C-alpha cells in the first residue's frame, strides 16, 4: 500500500515514492517514529509522522515543517541530522532523520543509577555543543530531558545525539497532560520556573536550567525537584531551593557543585546567560574533548574583497623628512599612475647646490693638474654635467612613460632606483615602519634624509655634448 489516506503508515507502505516503512520504533503524544529505508540509496532512516489529531491543526503542521527545516541546518555532530521533509497524500507532514542505534539517557539512568562524575559531565557537555548551535540559529529547545539525549556508539566513543529540536513548543496546551504517573512528568521535571508560568517568555536561559537539572540527576541519581504529584513538583520548582548536589555526592568538587547550583538559579538573570558559559564552567570536570564550540555558519553570499589602492600618505612623507615634499622622492614616481617602460635611459636629476659645489672643487683640482686654458674652457662647458653626477654610481633604470590611468590598480609599481651601498628592503607588514614608503601596494626602502633638508632642485641644464667614455673629464 502507498500512503494510507487519513491513517498512519504501516510496514510496507511507501512515502513520497522513495521511502519504505519497515517497522515502528517509537511512539509519542504527537507522532510515531518508524524505521525506514531510502529505496534508491539503500540507507536506513528514521521517519517521524504526526498523529491524526495533530495534523488537523494547521498551526501545528506549519510549525512542524518550520522546525524541521531549522533542524536540517544544524551541523553539530551531537544533533540527529534531518535529511528530508515531505508530506503524505493527505497533506500530513513527515520528517526524515538519521537512524540511530543505542539508548537514551533516561534508559541509562534506569539501568545504572547515578553515573561517574566525569562521564555525566561529558554527556552534558556534548549536549551543550548541540544546544549552543541551535541557540545561534534562534532555536530554543524547551524540552531538554534525558529522554531526548540519545547515546550511540561511534567507534570506541559514546556520542550524545540531541533529538526533537523545538517540537515540544508546538504542542497545544493540554491541562490533563500532567497525570499522576511519574513517567508523564518528564517535561515538567526539567522545566524552568519561567517556562512553568508562561512558555512564551522562556528563552535560551530556560535551556540552561534544563541542562542543570539533567546534570544534577545524572550525578546524584535523582532530580533536584520532586514531589508526590504534579502540583508538588511544580511548587518545588517555583519556590524551593534544591539540595546542594555535593551533599548527595561527597566526592563532588565544590567547583562542579557551584556550577550546577548556578544553572538552577530561579532568577534567569542570575544563571549562566548562555549555554557556552555553562560549558566553559563544566569543561574542567568532564572527559577531555567532550566540549566543542558550535560550528560556524558561513554566509552563502559571495564575498567581494576590494584591494587597497597604492598610495603615498602624507604621514609617510613626514616620517621621512618633515620639510620634505614630492621632490624628495625622485625614485618613487607617481603612486597612482600606471607604469610603462622605455628603452631610453632616464634623464639624470639636477644636482643640489651643495653637491654642485663639491663637484666643482674636484673638477678645479683636476683642471689645475692638467693645466691650460683649453682645459679651463672645456671645464666651463661641462661643469654642470660633472656637478650632476651622483657621488655613488647607481644601476641604470628605465624611465617611466605615461599609460592609460584605468590600469593604475592592476599594473606593477614604478621601478625604484636604490644606491649601490643601500640594499632595498621589503616589508609585508600592515603598517609602514619609519623610513619606509608605500609604492604600488608594496613597501620599499627609501634613503634616510640628511639632517639638513635639501631645497627643491633647480631647472635641468641643457643637454651636454656627447661624452667620450675613455675621457670623462674631456681633456
The continuous run of DSSP H or E covering 36 comes out as strand 31-38
Evaluate whether 190 touches 213 at the Cβ level (below 8 Å).
Answer: yes
Spatial separation of the C-alpha atoms in residues 95 and 46, rounded to whole Å? 8
Give the ranges where 371-450 is alpha helix by DSSP (H). 373-387
Task: Provide the CB-side half-sphere exposure for 60 (13 A, CA).
Answer: 19
Which residues fall within 8 angstroms of residue 235, CB to CB, at 6 or more apart? 227
- How many CB atoms are closer than 10 A to CB 16? 16
Catalytic residue among 104, 143, 164, 331: 143
Whether 258 sits among the annotated catalytic residues: the reply is: no
Q: β-pairing, 82-87 with 102-104?
A: unpaired
In the three-class reduction of DSSP (H, G, I as helix; E, B as strand; rest coil), residue 45 is classed as strand
Of the chain, the end-to-end C-alpha distance in Å amounts to 115
Residue 14: name the closest of 37, 42, 44 by CA: 37
Spatial separation of the C-alpha atoms in residues 263 and 256, rounded to whole Å? 11
Q: How would you label 71-84 residue by residue, b for 16+ Cβ within 10 Å and e otherwise?
A: bbebebebbbbbeb
Residue 98: name the closest of 128, 125, 76, 129 by CA: 76
Q: β-pairing, 93-98 with 82-87?
A: antiparallel
Spatial separation of the C-alpha atoms in residues 171 and 174, rounded to whole Å? 8
Return left, alpha or beta for 89; rule: phi > 0 is left, psi -120 to 50 is alpha, else beta.
alpha
Evaluate whether 146 touches 110 at the Cβ level (below 8 Å).
Answer: no
Evaluate whether 454 touches 320 at the Cβ level (below 8 Å).
Answer: no
**Radius of gyration of the chain measured on its C-alpha atoms:** 41
Q: At what angle do helices 204-220 and 105-112 cross, to 10 degrees?
A: 20
Which residues fall within 8 angstroms of residue 83, CB to CB, at 6 or more apart? 45, 72, 96, 97, 98
In the three-class reduction of DSSP (H, G, I as helix; E, B as strand; rest coil), residue 414 is classed as coil
- Cell digits for 188? 515538567
Spatial separation of the C-alpha atoms in residues 43 and 35, rounded to whole Å? 11
**CA distance to 81, 186, 243, per residue, from 248 (Å):** 37, 22, 8
Q: Which amino acids are annotated catalytic?
A: 143
Amino acid at each position: 500500500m502507498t500512503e494510507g489516506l487519513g491513517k498512519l503508515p504501516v510496514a510496507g507502505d511507501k512515502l513520497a515514492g522513495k521511502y519504505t516503512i519497515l517497522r515502528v520504533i517509537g511512539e509519542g503524544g504527537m507522532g510515531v517514529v518508524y524505521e525506514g529505508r531510502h529505496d534508491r540509496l539503500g540507507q536506513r532512516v528514521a521517519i517521524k509522522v504526526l498523529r491524526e489529531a495533530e495534523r488537523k491543526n494547521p498551526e501545528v503542521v506549519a510549525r512542524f515543517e518550520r522546525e524541521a527545516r531549522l533542524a536540517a541546518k544544524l551541523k553539530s555532530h551531537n544533533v540527529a541530522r534531518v535529511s528530508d521533509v515531505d508530506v503524505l497524500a493527505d497533506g500530513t507532514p513527515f520528517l526524515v532523520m538519521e537512524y540511530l542505534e543505542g539508548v537514551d539517557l533516561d534508559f541509562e539512568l534506569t539501568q545504572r543509577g547515578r553515573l561517574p562524575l566525569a562521564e555525566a559531565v561529558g554527556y552534558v557537555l556534548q549536549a551543550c555543543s548541540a544546544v549552543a548551535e541551535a541557540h545561534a540559529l534562534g532555536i530554543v529547545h524547551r524540552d531538554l530531558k534525558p529522554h531526548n539525549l540519545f547515546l550511540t556508539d561511534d567507534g570506541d566513543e559514546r556520542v550524545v545525539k540531541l533529538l526533537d529540536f523545538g517540537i515540544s513548543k508546538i504542542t497545544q496546551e493540554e491541562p490533563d497532560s500532567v497525570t499522576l504517573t511519574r513517567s508523564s512528568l518528564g517535561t515538567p521535571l526539567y522545566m524552568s520556573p519561567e517556562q512553568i508560568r508562561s512558555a512564551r517568555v522562556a528563552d535560551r536561559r530556560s535551556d540552561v536550567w534544563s541542562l542543570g537539572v539533567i546534570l544534577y540527576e545524572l550525578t546524584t541519581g535523582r532530580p533536584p525537584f520532586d514531589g508526590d504529584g504534579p502540583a508538588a513538583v511544580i511548587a518545588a520548582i517555583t519556590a524551593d531551593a534544591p539540595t546542594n548536589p555535593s551533599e548527595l555526592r561527597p566526592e563532588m568538587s565544590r567547583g562542579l557543585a557551584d556550577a550546577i547550583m548556578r544553572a538552577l538559579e530561579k532568577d534567569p538573570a542570575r544563571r549562566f546567560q548562555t549555554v557556552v558559559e555553562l560549558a566553559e564552567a563544566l569543561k574542567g570536570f568532564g572527559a577531555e574533548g567532550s566540549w566543542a564550540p558550535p560550528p560556524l555558519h558561513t554566509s552563502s553570499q559571495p564575498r567581494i574583497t576590494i584591494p587597497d589602492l597604492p598610495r603615498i600618505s602624507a604621514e609617510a612623507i613626514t616620517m621621512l623628512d618633515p620639510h620634505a615634499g614630492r621632490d624628495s622622492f625622485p625614485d618613487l614616481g607617481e603612486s597612482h599612475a600606471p607604469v610603462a617602460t622605455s628603452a631610453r635611459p632616464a634623464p639624470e636629476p639636477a644636482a643640489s647646490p651643495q653637491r654642485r659645489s663639491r663637484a666643482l672643487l674636484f673638477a678645479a683640482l683636476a683642471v689645475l693638474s692638467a693645466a691650460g686654458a683649453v682645459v679651463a674652457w672645456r671645464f666651463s662647458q661641462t661643469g654642470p654635467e660633472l656637478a650632476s653626477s651622483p657621488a655613488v654610481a647607481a644601476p641604470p633604470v628605465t624611465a617611466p612613460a605615461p599609460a592609460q590611468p584605468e590600469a593604475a590598480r592592476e599594473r606593477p609599481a614604478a621601478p625604484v632606483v636604490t644606491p649601490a651601498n643601500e640594499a632595498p628592503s621589503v616589508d609585508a607588514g600592515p603598517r609602514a615602519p619609519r623610513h619606509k614608503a608605500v609604492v604600488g601596494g608594496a613597501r620599499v626602502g627609501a634613503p634616510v634624509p640628511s639632517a639638513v633638508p635639501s631645497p627643491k632642485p633647480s631647472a635641468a641644464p641643457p643637454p651636454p655634448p656627447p661624452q667620450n667614455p675613455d675621457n670623462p673629464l674631456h681633456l
